[in-house]
Chain A
Amino acid sequence: MTTAPPLALSVRDLAFAYPDGRQVLYGVDLDVARGERVAMLGPNGAGKTTLVLHLNGILSPGRGEVRVDGLVVGPDTRREVRRRVGIVFQDPDDQLFMPTVAEDVAFGPANLGVTGADLRRCVDRALEQVAMSGFGDRSPHHLSFGQRRRVAVATVLAMQPQILVLDEPSSNLDPASRRELADIVRSLPVSVLMVTHDLPYAAELCSRSVLLDAGQVVAARPTAELLADTELLGAHRLELPYGFEPTRLSGCYGEPVAGAARDQ
């Protein structure tokens, strides 16, 4: 027995092929420590979303395993795993299906058996966390895209997950919403795995990055270091925006978040 606490998330040698025979993941390894924020970078079709769907047991690995806080993801643990891992999908319209925002946010906790006043408190708090209090009675299709994205985050926060998985959270957001979402993510006491093509966003939020291409982890390094390797990025169809200077990044995510949150 080691004294180290179990990792928030650990993926070991994960391989997966879709039922149509298409092999998408070829032995992926990935770790997220408690309180750590990790970015998963990679070109279109790399298998990022496919990997995400393994993290709460929606897809089952062909080989290898996924552990959440030490718990192996499988049919028996699925319920508990889905409580611990909150996934925010790429398109908020996929996630918001109830007639009102409040009911949508309530959907997850209600599935976990929360009822009555507790349920309402849960909903109010989640909406407050994403600065959407007062929108509870609105229907999702009357919100702007950025607002819908925030509500989608709230639907997941309401379940009080230990790990937040965000699939391309900054896509389609205007600069202000993008920054506000970053503030929200930064303020949460959870581990985060963020899938993104938005390299500055990864640099801003995540101390460590994993580069996935063609179903394999090509690199796993501190974000600033990975982004400084333009050759590596170029080889995997990733580009820094014009004028962005990764060497000046060091420490821009402020305090060593991972360490600080690990103490809690």
Chain B
Amino acid sequence: MSGSHGDGHGDGLHVPGHTVVHHVPAHAALLGVVAFVLVVVATPATEPLAYAGYALLLGAAVVLAGLAPALVLKRMVVEVPFVVFALLVPFVAAGPRVEVLGVAVSQPGLVDAGALLAKATLGVVAAIVLSATQHPRALLLGLSRLRVPDLVVTIAGFMFRYTQVVLDEMRRMRVAREARGFEATSVRQAKVLAQSAGALFIRSYERGERVHLAMLSRGWDGAMPALTDLRRETVRRGAWLPAAVLPLAALAVLTVQLTTSRGLAP
């Protein structure tokens, strides 16, 4: 595949592959994930089985995309702040209390926390599948195909490009630290890390200024030129179908759940 896409592998979060999931055109994949997340978010906290159904669907997508579960788990680390927040909710929320492991916690709080955690997890995993199966470049093109304003797409492109530059700078700084015998093993070394972070911020800021000068030098006057005619793409017919399956299946799960639980409650 090297030819047309250029970059061999490891571009951003992209994991190259040739599965049906990988071949979904980016704009369809974006729409599919957004629709799926909307269904998830719209699901009331009182329907735990629906969440289980969504999880199965996502699990199927992960398997179909040939992604290693370990990789997905590792990338789920970004979710940790949500987990912490969700764990706090039962302690601070009002309402009737129940005993969990000898501690009184709020019952609605517990349900809310569970639902929050489930929604966050499902959203994060969906995003992981999307970012692992779509090249960042393709995602940008997908955004512009979806009529997202060029300015927004360009800014997203900038962010992607400069995240790479800043990451490279971070890597160099880490190498420089370690080459001089630094190992981040104890909290006491936090100061060094904090200083590095400060230096990184300043470097990135100054980089921004130099980039701005370079843009001015090439006749930039504040408006992004339209470069859409440079973008070429080929889409196989019907390749977008898998993207539609995910939200539709989720919607089916939700409908079934809602009707059965209504039906059971007289």
Q: Are A106 and B230 in contact (CB under 8 A)?
A: yes
Is the C-beta of A97 less than 8 angstroms from some C-beta in chain B? yes
Q: Are B229 and A97 in contact (CB under 8 A)?
A: no
Q: Are A83 and B219 in contact (CB under 8 A)?
A: yes
Partner of A110, one of B161, B164, B227: B227
B133-153 contacts to A (CB < 8 Å): 136-137, 140
B216: nearest residue on chain A (CB-CB)?
A58
B203-242 contacts to A (CB < 8 Å): 207, 210-211, 213-221, 225-227, 229-230
Is the C-beta of A174 less than 8 angstroms from some C-beta in chain B? no
Partner of B4, one of A97, A137, A156: A137
How far is the CB of A164 from the nearest CB of chain B, in Å? 12
Q: With a CB–CB cut-off of 8 A, which chain A residues contact B217? A: 56, 58, 82, 86-87, 89
A94 to B207, CA, bound (A): 7
A235 to B255, CA, bound (A): 84
Q: Are A94 and B226 in contact (CB under 8 A)?
A: no
Q: Are B218 and A139 in contact (CB under 8 A)?
A: no
How far is the CB of B140 from the nearest CB of chain A, in Å? 6
Is the C-beta of A36 less than 8 angstroms from some C-beta in chain B? no
A140: nearest residue on chain B (CB-CB)?
B161
* Chain B interface residue number, banded: 20 to 34
Is the C-beta of B168 less than 8 angstroms from some C-beta in chain A? yes
Q: Are B227 and A99 in contact (CB under 8 A)?
A: no
How far is the CB of B161 from the nearest CB of chain A, in Å? 6
- Residue pairs across A and B with Cβ atoms less than 8 A apart, 22 shown, are A58-B213, A82-B219, A91-B210, A93-B165, A94-B210, A98-B157, A99-B137, A106-B227, A111-B221, A112-B219, A115-B226, A119-B227, A119-B229, A119-B230, A135-B6, A137-B4, A137-B5, A138-B7, A139-B137, A141-B161, A156-B218, A159-B218
Knowing that A98-B161, A106-B225, A137-B4 touch, tell me 13 more A-B residue pairs with CB under 8 angstroms.
A83-B219, A94-B207, A106-B230, A107-B225, A111-B218, A112-B219, A115-B226, A116-B229, A119-B230, A123-B230, A137-B6, A139-B161, A141-B161
- Residues on A facing B (Cβ under 8 Å): 53, 56, 58, 79, 82-83, 86-87, 89, 91, 93-100, 102-103, 106-108, 110-112, 115-116, 119-120, 123, 135, 137-142, 155-156, 159
- Residues on B facing A (Cβ under 8 Å): 4-7, 11, 136-137, 140, 157-158, 160-162, 164-165, 168, 207, 210-211, 213-221, 225-227, 229-230
